[in-house]
Structure 1
Amino acid sequence: MKKLRNNTALLMMTLPGLLLLIAFHYLPIGGILIAFKDFSYSGGTFLKNFENSPWVGLKNFEFFINTPDAYIITRNTILYNLVFIVLGTAVAVALAIALKELRNQRSAKVYQTFILLPYFLSWIAVSYLFFGFLSADKGLINNLIMEPLGFHPIEWYSVKAYWPYILIFANLWKYAGYNCIVYLATITGIDPDYYEAASLDGATKWQQIRHITIPSISTVITLLVLLGIGRMFFADFGLFYQVPLNSGAVFEVTNVIDTYVFRALMNSGDIGMSAAASTFQAFVGFILVLLSNFIVRKIDKEKAIF
C-alpha cells in the first residue's frame, strides 16, 4: 500500500492504457463462445439471441479447416509473416544503427521524421499511392519507365508473380521507421564508454557495431521477435486487402486468413465461422509464443519473456 501511495501519479498515467487494454483485449474474450455456436443476429438482442443459438461444437472449425483454400491462406499467412519478422527486424535494426551513427543530430531528426511518416498513413491512402505507380494505363512505372524503354506495359493487378515482392516492400516501407524507434532508444542507452574503449583499442566502426551495439540490443530483438511469432497466424488486413485493391486475379498470393474470413463473412454472413477463425489464430499464436519462449529460455534465460 505504501508503494501504491507513493506511485499514485504514475499509476494514474497508466489508467487510460489499462482501460483500453481491458476494453479491446479482455472484454471481447467472451465472444469466443460464438465460435462454438450457430449464431445469428436475427431474432432479437444479442443476449436473447445468444441464449437461443444452438451449440454446434467444432463444426465452425471444421468448415474453416476443410475449405479448399485452407492450405493456400495458411501458407501465405505464415510465409509472409516469417519474411516480415526476419526482414523487418533486420531493416529496423539497420536504420536504428544508421540514425545513431549520424554526426549531425538535426539531420538525424529529419531522416527519422521521413522514415516514420509512412506509419501514420492509412492503408487506403497507401493503396492509392501504389495505384499511382502500378496503374496499367496511367501508372508512373509504365508511363515513365516501361514505355520509354520500349517494353510493353505491365498489368500489375493481374499478374500474381509480382505481388509477393510488392507486399513485402509495402510492409517494410510502412513499418520499418516505426519499428526502429525501439531499437534506437535501446542503442541510445548504451554506455558510450564502451565505444570509447573499443576505439582506443583500434576497433573499427563495424567491429563496434558487431561486438557492442548488436549484443547490447539482442534482448530487445529477441523480445520483439517472440511477440511477432505470437502473431504469426494474424495478417495485416489493410496490406493484403487494400493494396492489391481486392483483385481476384492475384488471390493466390494475396489471400490470407484475415482477408478470407472477411470475404466469407461478407458473402455468407457466417459469424460463427469468422469467430472460429479468430479463435484458431489466437490459440495457435499462444502456443507459438510458449514454444518459442521455451526454446529461448533453454538457450538464454535472460532473453526469455517469462
Structure 2
Amino acid sequence: MTSATEAVAAKATQPKTKSKQNLGYWKRFGTFYIMMAPALIVLLMNNYLPMFGSLIAFKQIEYTSNSFIQSFLDSKWVGWDNFDYLFSTTDAWTITRNTLGYNAVFIILNLVIGVTLALLFNAMRSRRLAKLHQTTMFLPYFLSMVVIAYLVYAFLNPDIGIVNKVVLPWFGLNPIDWYTETKWWPYILPLVNTWKGIGYYAVIFLAAIIGIDNEYYEAATLDGASKWRQIWSITIPLIKPVIIILTLLQIGRIFYSDFGLFFQVTRNSGVLYDTTLVIDTYVYQGFIVSGDIGMSSAAGLYQAVVGFVLVFASNLIIRRFSKDDALF
C-alpha cells in the first residue's frame, strides 16, 4: 500500500519537476534564442520559403492574369515533362559536363595552390613583406566580376588587347580572336577564377598553419627532419581538417557556377557556349531569352538535388575513413 502511494506521489511531482526544468532552461538560454530569432527569420524567408518555387518545374506556366501567383495556380501540372525535354536535348550533357569539369578543376587548383602559397607565406622571414603579399593576393577577391571582365577584355581584346598587341608578337605568333575560339577557354576560365579567389583560400590555410604549435617543428628539427619532411609529416596532417571542410563546402557547390565568371568574362559569346555554358547561365538563358520558366526551374531543381546528394555522399565517404574530420 505504501509503495503504491509513493508511486502516485512521484507521478504527481514529475510534471512539476519537468516544468521547472523547462523554465530553468528558457531562463538560461532564452536570451540566445531571442538573439538568434532575426537571423533565423531571414534564413527562413530567403532560403526556405523560395523552395516552394520548385513546384514551377512540374508545371507549364501560362500567364492568364497579371498576378503571377494566380497564373501559377491556374497553370496545369505537367509532371516530369520539363525534365524529359531538358534531358532529351544535348544541352543537359553539355551544361553538366562543363559545370562539373570546371568546378573539379577549380577545387583542385584552390587546394593545391592555396596550400602551397600558405606554406610560402608562413616561411617568409619578413612579416611585413608576408602581410603585403597576402593583402595583394586577397585584393582580387573583393573585386566585382564586372570589373574583372573588363580587365580580362583589356588583355584579350582581338584588336587592341595586350596579348594580341604585345605578348604574341614577342613570340612571332599571329593574333587570336579569343572570343570566337572555344579551345582557349578551358584554360582561361580556371586561370581567372584562381587569380580572383586564391587569396581567400591561402589566408584560411595560413591561419590553420599558424595555429600549429611550434614544439612539433622544434622536436622534428632536433630529430634531423628536413623542411619537406616537416611539411608532409606535421603541417599537412594537422591542417587536414581544414582542407577537408573547405573541400566539402566546394563539393556542395560543385553544381553551382560563378555566374559572373561564365557570363561576364566570356561576354556571353554564343560561339563559346560549347565550352562555357553551365547550369547557371543556361537557366538564365532559358528564362530571359526563351521565356521557358518551367524548363529553367527544372534545370535549377536538378542542380540543387544533385548538389545536395553529392555533399551527403562526400561526407559519408569521409566518415568511413576519418569520422572526426567529417562535416556532420
Tell me the TM-score range normalised by the shorter chain: over 0.9
Q: Report 1:284-295 matches (<5 A).
A: 284-295=306-317
Which of 94, 97, 108 in structure 2 is aligned with 1:86? 108
Q: Is residue 56 from structure 1 mapped to residue 71 from structure 2 by the alignment?
A: no
Instruction: Between the two structures, name the one with larger relative contact order (CA 8 Å, sep ≥ 6).
Output: 1
Structure 1 equivalent of residue 210 of structure 2: 188
1:211 maps onto 2:215 in alignment: no
**Aligned-partner Cα distance in 2 for 1:162–1:263:** 23
C-alpha deviation, 1:65, in angstroms: 1.4
Aligned residue among 152, 157, 163 for 2:185 = 163
Q: Give a deviation string over 1:45-79, Cα, whole Å, max 9, x none.
A: 23322221211111111122112222122111111
User: Which residue, 298, 317, 327 being the options, matches 1:276?
Assistant: 298
Amino acid paired to 1:283: V
- Is the counterpart of residue 130 in structure 1 residue 152 in structure 2? yes
How far apart, CA to CA, are the structure 2 residues paired with 1:107 and 1:234?
36
2:93 is aligned to 71
2:286–2:293 CA contact under 8 A, matched in 1: no
| d(CA) in 1 for partners of 2:32, 2:241 | 30
Q: Deviations over 1:94-144 (max 9, x none)?
A: 122222222222212111111111111111111110010111110011111
Residues 108 and 18 from structure 1, CA distance in 2 versus in 1: closer, same or farther, beyond 3 angstroms? Answer: farther
TM-score, length-scaled by structure 1: 0.92
Task: State the Cα RMSD in Å.
Answer: 2.1
Q: TM-score, normalised by structure 2?
A: 0.86
Equivalent of residue 119 in structure 2, options 87, 97, 107: 97
Distance 1:19 1:161 in 2: 47
Distance 2:39 2:204 in 1: 19
Partner of 1:45: 67
Question: 1:69 is aligned with what amino acid?
Answer: D
How many angstroms does 1:234 deviate by? 1.5
Task: Give the direction of change, closer, same or farther, for the CA distance of 1:133–1:57 in structure 2 (3 Å limit).
Answer: same
Aligned residue-pair number? 305
Larger radius of gyration: 2
CA distance in 1: counterparts of 2:199 and 2:180, whole angstroms: 30
Structure 1 residue aligned with 2:242: 220
DSSP-derived class of the 1:158 partner:
coil
| Match 1:235 to one of 253, 257, 266 | 257
Secondary structure in structure 1 of the residue aligned to 2:179:
helix
Structure 1 Cα separation of the partners of residues 138 and 62 of structure 2: 42
Distance 2:182 2:274 in 1: 7
What percentage of aligned pairs have identical amino acids? 49
1:177-196 per-position Cα deviation (integer Å, ceiling 9, x unaligned)? 11223222222221121112
Q: Deviations over 1:223-262 (max 9, x none)?
A: 2212222222212111111111111222111111111221
The AA in structure 2 aligned to 1:122 is S
Q: 1:245 and 2:263 equivalent?
A: no
Give the 3-state SS of the residue equivalent to 1:156 in structure 2: coil
* Corresponding residue for residue 143 of structure 2: 121
Residue 47 (structure 2) aligns with? 25
1:13-37 alpha-carbon deviations (Å, 9 max, x no partner): x666545433332221111111111
The range that moved more, 279-288 or 146-155, is 146-155
Code of the residue aligned with 2:200 in structure 1: it is Y
Q: Which residue number in structure 2 is paired with residue 106 of structure 1? A: 128
Aligned residue identity for 2:118: A
2:176 paired with 1:150: no
Distance (whole Å) between structure 2 residues aligned to residue 188 and residue 19 of structure 1 = 37
Select between 36-45 and 47-56 the one with higher mean Cα deviation.
36-45
1:150 CA drift (Å): 3.1
- 282-291 or 43-52: which moved more? 43-52
Residue 148 of structure 2: SS of its match in structure 1? helix
Does 177-186 or 79-88 show the bigger shift? 177-186
Unaligned runs of 5+ in 1: none
Distance in 1 separating the partners of 2:151 and 2:273: 21
Instruction: Note if contact 1:40-1:271 (Cα within 8 Å) is conserved in structure 2.
Output: no
Q: Distance in 1 between matches of 2:76 and 2:47?
A: 26
Range that drifts further, 162-171 or 223-232: 223-232
SS of the aligned residue for 2:60 comes to coil
Deviations 1:157-176 (CA, angstroms, capped at 9, x unpaired): 11111110000101101111
